[in-house]
Amino acid sequence: MAIIAFLSANAPWGWIIAGLVFLALELLAPGVFLVWLGVAGIATGLIVFVQPMDWPWQWLLFAVLSLASIFAWLRWSRSRSGESDRPYLNRRAERYIGHEAVLDQPISGGFGRLPLGDTIWRISGPDLPAGRRVRVIGYDGAVLQVEPI
């Protein structure tokens, strides 16, 4: 009973400490989720400092502030522009669609190799001799699909 009386007497500090623990846990397990629980815990502690209330109301306030902060973050993050100065950074094969090149090696059996940029790509397409000009028309995983020009 002494623990419950102690927590009741120091409820605002308990919420603030819980919020700081959530923020510290976010450093160990990043995912931008515990941040909002930490913010809600600290806000609950500050509100309980100003307006004392019973434990059930404090938990309800914490839940409402947690959900509100998470939904506000989701709404804000989804409304941000997804434009990038490097839109094909993690989509290297997609970058080469429409690119034209000359075959260094023939395509035989439907597959060959083609140097593009700093990489030698595996390509698929009709059998063609070396020296033939081709255009990249698509990709399947890490294999570029080409057609003769």
DSSP-assigned letter for residue 108: B
Q: Are residues 100 and 139 both part of a single domain? A: yes
CATH code, 124? 2.40.50.140
pLDDT at 67: 96
Amino acid at 19: G
The verdict on residue 86 lying in a domain is: no
Of 45, 79, 113, at which residue does a domain stop?
79
Residues 6+ apart with CB under 8 A from 116: 96, 99, 101, 136, 144
Residue 4, CA distances (Å) to 10, 21, 49 in order: 10, 20, 18
pLDDT at 55: 87
Range of the domain at 141: 92-148
For the chain (length 149 residues), average pLDDT per consecutive 10?
73 92 91 90 95 92 96 88 70 88 93 90 94 94 92
pLDDT at 71: 94
pLDDT at 88: 67
Amino acid at 12: P
pLDDT at 1: 67
Q: Where are the beta strands (DSSP E) in 23-149?
A: 100-102, 111-116, 119-124, 133-140, 143-148
- Are the beta carbons of 116 and 103 closer than 8 angstroms? no
∠ Cα 121 122 124 (to 5°): 130
Report residue 106 as tokens: 């023939």
pLDDT at 11: 87
The verdict on residue 122 lying in a domain is: yes
CA-CA-CA-CA dihedral for 27, 28, 31, 35, to nearest 10: -40
pTM of the model: 0.55
